[in-house]
A and B are shown apart, each in its own frame.
Chain A
Amino acid sequence: MSVTGSASAGRPGSRAVVPVSVLVADRWWAPLGGLALVGAVFFTMPIWMPALGFLSVEDGVTVTLYTMLALGMVLVLGYCGQLMLATNALFGVGAYGLAILALHQGLNPWAGMAVSAVAAGAGAALIGVMVFRLTGHLLGLVTLAIGYIAFIVFETSPLTGGASGIGVGPSLSIGGAVFSGGENSFFYVCTVAALISLVVARNLVVSRTGRALRAVEANEAAAASAGVNATHYKVVAFVAGAIIASVAGSLYANYVGVVGASSFTILVTVEVLLMAVVGGLRSIWGAPFGVLGVVVFQAALQTYGPDVIHINSSYFTTIGFGVVLILVLLLLPGGLASIGDGLARMIASWSPEANAANRRISTESHAVALQAALGEPSTSAVADVSAVAAVAPGITSDVEGEADPDPPCLLEAVGVTCRFEGLTALDGVSLELRAGEVVGLIGPNGAGKTTFFNCLSGHVQPSSGVVRLGGTDVTGMAPYRIARHGLARTFQNIELFPDMSVLENVMVGAHLSAHAGALSAIFRLPRHWRDERVLAQRAGHALERVGMERYAARAAGTLPYGQQRRVEIARALAAQPHVLLLDEPAAGLSASEAQELVELVRALASESLGIVMVEHNMRALMDVADRVTVLDSGRQLLTALPDEVRKDETVIASYLGTSHLDLSRASVRGAGARPEGATSVPEEGA
């Protein structure tokens, strides 16, 4: 079944209120502006650099090549949140690859460059698959060690010419034109390569793949529940960065003529990290400026430093880098890009027609954030009631009559048990969910409700028991694979991707309804555009379902709480699931918002979605649930109709007091024993 399909059925002929053309703001020409800016700065380097007096065209080549390296860092660390510190190794693979292939195989330099890039990409994929199971800083240190090992190998191996290095062979040429190291023409080759890399990186980031990357960075668990295979996307980013770094290495080899190990120390990695941080880790367009800034800074320091302090100028660089890295992180964590963003916002505020979706955080969202900060009620919440209500009643009215006498069983959990270090969080919990049914899950604190959800969605592996989704045994599967079997969920503490727009959040939810991969994104193949349209459409419909379509362009993190809840539900709906798990969807909602939620849940169930819902707002839950399952200390007390649950003695005892009788007697005894327990104590709070 399909939410979108049914929604359309419910409201014949209805399409997304917001036209897809507006939702998909990206165009093939969108990167041209940034490209023109960077191109203008880069191509004129042979003019303005010597004019400054302390720079030369050689520094221009450094800028272009390091831009390529920094882009790899931005892709992997900035967009994917993975600290991969093996840049020097990849740079070296490109350089030595070209040299070795030319020397031993007599390969043409272009072919050498291509073969090296493929080798670097394959190596990155291999390393990525092995080490991405490690987390955060561990990954950083392990990959740094890989970089260190690579350096030692470059320095020692006879193949790489050891400490004396290796000659590179013939220069790059196209037709009759030869580009050799000492000439300006070579600089232009490097600049073109850097600009192409920028477009590649930018196209990769603004795509289905890019959204998945950013989602993984922001919140791996939530990304997985939308069906995003985190490891896959981390590897894609790493491989893309590796190929770019390798090409930069090959160009470098051609430029210097003799490749020596001292150009590939792990300090190269540290420098690239510094440049990426200065440019702004989350910004493709920041990278070239970060590199430029660092190179100019370093050259100025080396030229003018000795005039101030009479010490060998090159000695200043290390401490200078350290200080700049620290100061940028402390004072301008967004790097130069955050200045650029500020400028872009200023310009945008002058021209209202500016392309809104190209900016990560629209000005509009700032207004909302401001509103939230000032505590002003957002008028939208009221306005949106009608949107939900418009969908809900139309459908609910004809459910009862048409109800399938024997709807299919969507989700079945049998004897799910979960132990953590000796503690039994769940003890043989079973659940059966049929299409069109809402099952409530309640229980006191620590009853195991969220753990049960995590077992169902794969975020926690049950110790024993079976979970079946539509007849398929999914026990112990990874969350992203369970998502592919038609299960979507929300989280207790809203797990949105805060920096992404509402629409992008929901498009991640629809991730599985398209297939465009990294290559279609990079080359902007027709498939990319087709899939973007499909995803945006699906996301638009899902937003419409929850009445949030008008906020599509806002950064999700800037929305008020109640609306974030809705976006999260929309994200789950965009996956077109058969089974929906809602973890405390009404928490923190006002009474009227909770009522809207109840109506939404009813409407969804009427489209034969199966819903399991953990909720503390009993009124909302009892209102909407067909059956209620009560957990207490990991055990299943009972599953019954809401009214039966409310009257059940064991349930009441589990909530109000376990040793019911004993304690009430104790209470009387205690009261009698203490003088202040006299029944005449006046009521408080009068």
Chain B
Amino acid sequence: MTTATERPAVLKVEDLSVAYGAVRAVRGVSLALRQAECLGVVGANGAGKTSLLAGICGLVRPAGGSVSLDDVAIGGLKVEETVRRGLVLVPERRQLFASMSVRDNLLLGSYVLGRERKVPQQLERVEELFPTLARRREQRAGTLSGGEQQMLAIARGLMSTPRVLMVDEPSLGLAPVVVDAVVDALRELRRQGLTLLIVEQNVRLAMALADRLLVMEQGVVVRQTSADAVLDEEALVAAYLGGPTDPKAERHADDGGAGSREPSSDRSR
């Protein structure tokens, strides 16, 4: 589809900063997410990916910047309120209601819908998408395998029929085979036209899912690229494991902030 850029932006984030006390975990990140688009955010530990999501959805109050969903400003709202507006986060480490049944987890996912008639329909839809969950309806969420828990977390997020689903580290702690299943599920959601924002440390996985990738380092977006553009392996390794080049030069570049760091990043700009 060539019109990806023409579709209206559903989620717009401008100059977002997130701070914990005096630590600035995210420093002025901007992004726009269009209808039915899938955006991946990659980067090493501590790059600020999770904090970015927390700031967008209001789990942490942003220190600066703005967030809007369908052109309505939602920056500064608490997460309980942004969920009601259709922005749902599937958090890192899944955060299930471990001692409650799979079904109750799903029903709680639709808490914001109240007693609407949509709920049973949505339950049916979600169980269709994740047949394993339908089979384990009465099982306690904490007793599911890691992959099933991840699927339940995603399914719970879908229960409130979100406009945008943000998924944090879907592959974390999962065996490769299981990761494939989770990726398949996310890909299916994409195909159905859900707007997705996926944070992932695993670059390959993110590339397999997303239309576009943002690479974060030290709280800033250092590069934006199409997922299909072959990422320069060496540059990626540098972003994750530190560059093998002259450390002094890099330190200066670091101060310079995003973008102007390496030749490879010029290409993507």
Partner of B204, one of A616, A656, A678: A656
Query: Within A604-658, which residues are at the interface with B (CB < 8 Å)?
Result: 616-619, 621-623, 633, 643, 645-646, 651-652, 655-658
Are B228 and A658 in contact, CB atoms less than 8 angstroms apart? no
Cα distance A562–B2 in the bound complex, in angstroms: 47
Residue of B nearest to A562 (CB): B22
Partner of A684, one of B23, B224, B241: B224
Are B21 and A561 in contact, CB atoms less than 8 angstroms apart? yes
Given contacts A616-B46, A667-B208, contact A684 B226 (CB under 8 A): yes
Indicate if A352 sits at the interface (CB-CB under 8 A): no
Binary per-residue interface labels of chain A (290-314) against chain B in the complex, 1 for a CB within 8 Å, 0 otherwise: 0000000000000000000000000
Min distance, Cβ B98 to any Cβ of chain A, angstroms: 10
Are A656 and B202 in contact, CB atoms less than 8 angstroms apart? yes
Indicate if A446 sits at the interface (CB-CB under 8 A): yes
Task: Give chain B residues whose Cβ lies under 8 Å from the Cβ of A633.
Answer: 173
Report the stretch among A51-59, A193-201, A587-595 that lies at the interface.
Answer: A587-595
Indicate if A40 sits at the interface (CB-CB under 8 A): no
Partner of A619, one of B225, B254, B269: B254
Main secondary structure of the interface of B (DSSP, over half): mixed
Query: Within B206-257, which residues are at the interface with A (CB < 8 Å)?
Result: 207-209, 211-212, 218, 224-229, 236-237, 240-244, 247, 250-251, 254-255
Indicate if B4 sits at the interface (CB-CB under 8 A): yes
Task: Give chain A residues whose Cβ lies under 8 Å from the Cβ of B5.
Answer: 682, 684
Are B207 and A667 in contact, CB atoms less than 8 angstroms apart? yes
Cα distance A660–B240 in the bound complex, in angstroms: 15
Indicate if A659 sits at the interface (CB-CB under 8 A): yes
Indicate if A671 sits at the interface (CB-CB under 8 A): yes
Cα distance A445–B268 in the bound complex, in angstroms: 28
Task: Give chain A residues whose Cβ lies under 8 Å from the Cβ of B255.
Answer: 591-592
Are A678 and B173 in contact, CB atoms less than 8 angstroms apart? no
Partner of B23, one of A587, A592, A646, A664: A587
Given contacts A595-B251, A663-B204, A684-B224, contact A652 B21 (CB under 8 A): no
Are B180 and A662 in contact, CB atoms less than 8 angstroms apart? yes
Indicate if A393 sits at the interface (CB-CB under 8 A): no
Given contacts A618-B241, A663-B205, A676-B4, contact A588 B45 (CB under 8 A): no
Given contacts A446-B173, A656-B204, contact A676 B1 (CB under 8 A): yes
Partner of B251, one of A591, A680, A684: A591
Indicate if B176 sits at the interface (CB-CB under 8 A): yes
Tally of A interface residues using CB under 8 Å = 53
Query: Within B55-77, which residues are at the interface with A (CB < 8 Å)?
Result: none
Interface centre among A655, A656, A671 (most CB of B within 10 A): A656
Cα distance A666–B191 in the bound complex, in angstroms: 15
Cα distance A114–B114 in the bound complex, in angstroms: 68
Indicate if A33 sits at the interface (CB-CB under 8 A): no
Are A657 and B205 in contact, CB atoms less than 8 angstroms apart? yes
Min distance, Cβ B231 to any Cβ of chain A, angstroms: 9
Min distance, Cβ A449 to any Cβ of chain B, angstroms: 9
Partner of B242, one of A619, A652, A684: A619
Task: Give chain B residues whose Cβ lies under 8 Å from the Cβ of A657.
Answer: 202-205
Cα distance A644–B97 in the bound complex, in angstroms: 43
Given contacts A595-B251, A681-B211, A683-B225, contact A618 B202 (CB under 8 A): no
Are A651 and B241 in contact, CB atoms less than 8 angstroms apart? yes
Indicate if B201 sits at the interface (CB-CB under 8 A): yes
Cα distance A678–B1 in the bound complex, in angstroms: 8
Are B241 and A623 in contact, CB atoms less than 8 angstroms apart? no
Partner of B228, one of A446, A662, A677: A677
Residue of A nearest to B1 (CB): A676
Task: Give chain B residues whose Cβ lies under 8 Å from the Cβ of A686.
Answer: 269
Task: Give chain A residues whose Cβ lies under 8 Å from the Cβ of B24.
Answer: 588
Cα distance A372–B22 in the bound complex, in angstroms: 8
Task: Give chain A residues whose Cβ lies under 8 Å from the Cβ of B208.
Answer: 663-664, 666-667, 670
Partner of A445, one of B45, B211, B240, B244: B45
Indicate if B35 sits at the interface (CB-CB under 8 A): no
Task: Give chain A residues whose Cβ lies under 8 Å from the Cβ of B237.
Answer: 646, 652, 656
Partner of A676, one of B179, B211, B229, B250: B211
Task: Give chain A residues whose Cβ lies under 8 Å from the Cβ of B226.
Answer: 681-684
Residue of A nearest to B253 (CB): A591
Residue of A nearest to B92 (CB): A445
Are B1 and A621 in contact, CB atoms less than 8 angstroms apart? no
Indicate if A157 sits at the interface (CB-CB under 8 A): no
Cα distance A663–B180 in the bound complex, in angstroms: 8
Indicate if B113 sits at the interface (CB-CB under 8 A): no
Query: Within A560-588, which residues are at the interface with B (CB < 8 Å)?
Result: 560-562, 564, 584, 587-588
Task: Give chain A residues whose Cβ lies under 8 Å from the Cβ of B242.
Answer: 618-619, 621-622, 646
Are A685 and B1 in contact, CB atoms less than 8 angstroms apart? no
Task: Give chain A residues whose Cβ lies under 8 Å from the Cβ of B243.
Answer: 619
Are B202 and A685 in contact, CB atoms less than 8 angstroms apart? no
Are A652 and B179 in contact, CB atoms less than 8 angstroms apart? no
Min distance, Cβ B258 to any Cβ of chain A, angstroms: 10
Task: Give chain A residues whose Cβ lies under 8 Å from the Cβ of B229.
Answer: 683
Given contacts A588-B22, A619-B243, A619-B254, contact A684 B225 (CB under 8 A): yes
Indicate if A14 sits at the interface (CB-CB under 8 A): no
Task: Give chain B residues whose Cβ lies under 8 Å from the Cβ of A651.
Answer: 241
Task: Give chain B residues whose Cβ lies under 8 Å from the Cβ of A372.
Answer: 22
Min distance, Cβ B45 to any Cβ of chain A, angstroms: 5
Cα distance A583–B216 in the bound complex, in angstroms: 22
Interface centre among A444, A564, A616, A685 (most CB of B within 10 A): A685
Given contacts A591-B255, A656-B202, A662-B176, contact A616 B44 (CB under 8 A): yes
Are A664 and B204 in contact, CB atoms less than 8 angstroms apart? yes
Indicate if A176 sits at the interface (CB-CB under 8 A): no
Cα distance A23–B165 in the bound complex, in angstroms: 56
Partner of A679, one of B46, B180, B205, B228: B228
Are A446 and B172 in contact, CB atoms less than 8 angstroms apart? yes
Task: Give chain B residues whose Cβ lies under 8 Å from the Cβ of A617.
Answer: 46, 218
Indicate if A12 sits at the interface (CB-CB under 8 A): no
Are B228 and A619 in contact, CB atoms less than 8 angstroms apart? no
Partner of A675, one of B1, B240, B244, B254: B1
Given contacts A618-B44, A619-B250, A686-B269, contact A659 B241 (CB under 8 A): no
Residue of A nearest to B258 (CB): A685
Min distance, Cβ A424 to any Cβ of chain B, angstroms: 11
Task: Give chain B residues whose Cβ lies under 8 Å from the Cβ of A561.
Answer: 21-23
Query: Within A437-464, which residues are at the interface with B (CB < 8 Å)?
Result: 444-446
Partner of B179, one of A588, A655, A658: A658
Residue of B nearest to A449 (CB): B45
Are A656 and B203 in contact, CB atoms less than 8 angstroms apart? yes
Task: Give chain A residues whose Cβ lies under 8 Å from the Cβ of B179.
Answer: 658-659, 663
Indicate if B84 sits at the interface (CB-CB under 8 A): no
Task: Give chain A residues whose Cβ lies under 8 Å from the Cβ of B203.
Answer: 656-657
Binary per-residue interface labels of chain A (530-569) against chain B in the complex, 1 for a CB within 8 Å, 0 otherwise: 0000000000000000000000000000001110100000
Residue of B nearest to A628 (CB): B241
Min distance, Cβ A438 to any Cβ of chain B, angstroms: 15
Indicate if B187 sits at the interface (CB-CB under 8 A): yes
Are A591 and B21 in contact, CB atoms less than 8 angstroms apart? no
Interface centre among B187, B208, B226, B250 (most CB of A within 10 A): B208
Task: Give chain B residues whose Cβ lies under 8 Å from the Cβ of A685.
Answer: 224-225, 268-269
In the complex, besides A618-B44, A618-B242, A683-B269, 11 extra interface pairs with C-beta distance below 8 angstroms are A561-B21, A616-B44, A622-B241, A652-B240, A655-B201, A659-B204, A663-B205, A682-B5, A683-B224, A683-B225, A684-B224
A residues in contact (CB < 8 Å) with B: 372, 444-446, 560-562, 564, 584, 587-588, 591-592, 595, 616-619, 621-623, 633, 643, 645-646, 651-652, 655-660, 662-664, 666-667, 670-671, 674-686
7 closest pairs, A vs B, by CB? A618-B242, A657-B204, A561-B22, A685-B224, A616-B46, A588-B23, A676-B1
Q: List 18 A-B contacts (CB under 8 A).
A: A445-B169, A445-B172, A561-B21, A588-B22, A616-B46, A618-B241, A619-B251, A621-B242, A623-B247, A643-B244, A655-B201, A656-B202, A656-B240, A663-B183, A663-B205, A667-B208, A670-B208, A676-B4
